[in-house]
């Protein structure tokens, strides 16, 4: 089974990305044929600093490796190094109705957030994502809940293409974990944790222990003082319980029991300690990788080559079918 996924190099990876996407990737690489990308072409459609982009790409590559992605077991590559992604995106644009793109939640959210930056790249973002996935005949795409809609449009595009030009693309399935699919911001539990939003609401995988402690202690909680899971009335504490549960491998019920009679302060302190302990090894591995630039770039170079080989063969077929 072929698996494909990617993350935008837009800043420090947070525990939402880690729990929603990367932890699935780590287990999938053991048994499936996996390809993971640093999707830099997707990073330029929202405000970004061109002087920092290469740094962010390198940083994301070291993060992938530090979290446990193994280049002997999967392909790790940079999207912009395989030109077929934009080539296929252009072709798929010809069969994608404008209305479908305008309806995308991410397009609406990001346009509202950056009214000065509503570009057609942002509108066409899902077509480029469809090209990423379809180029490699991916059967499964491990993602967080927020990307489900983009997977649906990818499936529509593939089905439309297959109907018009003959069976060409595999119809991919989303893989969304039950837990970790949507980690909310610590500052606003109504909103998902996001790299490019407020840093206070977001725990970076490489935050220093003091920062983790500070952010958890300052996390928005709800009225009342019981440690109880209730996503309607206690959104803040429920989000923290969810994070605690995934990192500790304990059920929510077990945690509620453990903290019976204790207050938010005790629980937050325990959560901060848990996170600091769990992220320690990843942080250590990353600091070693940062010093070994040559190795990291050699991994990407090898991945780029592998990806190019698959993508160019697929593109040949697609162009022929379209009469190009």
The Cα 297–Cα 322 span in angstroms is 36
Angle among Cα 289, 290, 295 to the nearest 5 degrees reads 55
Report the nearest approach of ligand ATP to the CB of residue 150 (Å): 9
**Catalytic residue, candidates 167, 195, 234, 320:** 195
- Which of residues 81 and 185 has its CB atom nearest to ligand ATP in the complex? 185
User: Is 110 annotated as catalytic?
Assistant: yes
Binding mask 134-173 for ligand LTN (x = CB under 6 A): -------x-x---x--x-----------------------
Angle among Cα 291, 293, 294 to the nearest 5 degrees reads 130
The Cα 80–Cα 98 span in angstroms is 25
185-224: b (≥16 Cβ within 10 Å) or e? bbbbbeebbbbbbebbbbbbbbbeeeebbebbeebbbbee
Report the nearest approach of ligand LTN to the CB of residue 18 (Å): 13
User: Is 225 annotated as catalytic?
Assistant: no
User: Is 83 annotated as catalytic?
Assistant: no
Long-range contacts: 250-255, Cβ < 8 Å, 24+? 255/227
Q: How many binding residues for ligand LTN (CB under 6 A)?
A: 13
182 binds ligand ATP (CB under 6 A): yes
- Which of residues 6 and 201 has its CB atom nearest to ligand LTN in the complex? 6
- Which of residues 146 and 211 has its CB atom nearest to ligand LTN in the complex? 146
Of 181-189, 205-213, 267-275, 305-313, which segment contacts ligand ATP by CB under 6 A? 181-189
**Catalytic residue, candidates 83, 148, 192, 208:** 192
For residue 284, the SS3 value is: helix
**Catalytic residue, candidates 31, 83, 102, 110:** 110
Of 68-76, 139-147, 157-165, 226-234, which segment contacts ligand ATP by CB under 6 A? 139-147
Which partner from the list ligand ATP, ligand LTN, none does 183 bind, CB cut-off 5 to 8 Å by kind?
A: ligand ATP
Q: 255: which residues sit within 8 A by CB, 6+ positions away? A: 227, 241, 244, 245, 248
For residue 213, the SS3 value is: helix
15 binds ligand LTN (CB under 6 A): no
132 binds ligand LTN (CB under 6 A): yes
- Which of residues 77 and 267 has its CB atom nearest to ligand LTN in the complex? 77
Residue pair 155/172 in contact by the 8 Å Cβ criterion = yes
Half-sphere exposure at residue 127, Cβ-oriented, CA atoms within 13 angstroms: 25
272-290: b (≥16 Cβ within 10 Å) or e? bebbbeebeebeebbeebe
The Cα 76–Cα 31 span in angstroms is 16
Q: Which residues are catalytic?
A: 110, 192, 195
Q: Which residues bind ligand ATP (CB under 6 A)?
A: 7-8, 10, 16-17, 19-21, 143-144, 146-147, 180-183, 192-196
Q: Which residues bind ligand LTN (CB under 6 A)?
A: 4-6, 8, 39, 42, 129, 132-133, 141, 143, 147, 150
């Amino acid at each position: 089974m072929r698996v494909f996924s990617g993350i935008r190099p837009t800043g420090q990876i947070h525990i939402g990305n880690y729990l929603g996407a990367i932890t699935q990737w780590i287990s999938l690489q053991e048994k499936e044929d996996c390809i993971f990308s640093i999707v830099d072409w997707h990073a330029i459609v929202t405000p970004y600093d061109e002087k920092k982009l290469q740094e962010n790409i390198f940083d994301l590559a070291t993060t992938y490796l530090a979290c446990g992605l193994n280049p002997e077991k999967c392909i790790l590559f940079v999207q912009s190094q395989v030109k077929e992604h934009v080539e296929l995106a252009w072709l798929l644009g010809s069969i994608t109705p404008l209305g479908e793109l305008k309806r995308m939640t991410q397009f609406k959210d990001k346009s509202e957030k950056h009214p000065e930056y509503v570009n057609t790249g942002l509108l066409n973002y899902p077509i480029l994502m469809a090209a990423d996935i379809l180029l490699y005949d991916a059967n499964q795409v491990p993602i967080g809940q927020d990307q489900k809609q983009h997977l649906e449009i990818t499936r529509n595009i593939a089905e439309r293409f297959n109907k018009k030009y003959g069976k060409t693309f595999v119809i991919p399935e989303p893989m969304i974990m039950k837990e970790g699919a949507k980690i909310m911001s610590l500052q606003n539990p109504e909103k998902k944790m996001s790299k490019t939003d407020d840093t206070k609401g977001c725990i970076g995988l490489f935050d220093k222990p003091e920062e983790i402690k500070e952010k958890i202690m300052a996390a928005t909680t709800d009225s009342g003082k019981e440690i109880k899971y209730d996503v309607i009335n206690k959104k803040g504490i429920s989000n923290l319980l969810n994070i605690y549960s995934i990192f500790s491998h304990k059920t929510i019920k077990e945690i509620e029991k453990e903290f019976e009679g204790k207050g938010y302060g005790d629980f937050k302190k325990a959560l901060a300690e848990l996170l600091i302990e769990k992220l320690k090894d990843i942080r250590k591995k990353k600091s070693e990788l940062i010093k070994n630039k040559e190795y990291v770039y050699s991994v990407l170079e090898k991945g780029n080559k592998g990806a190019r080989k698959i993508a160019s063969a697929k593109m040949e077929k697609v162009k022929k079918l379209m009469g190009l």
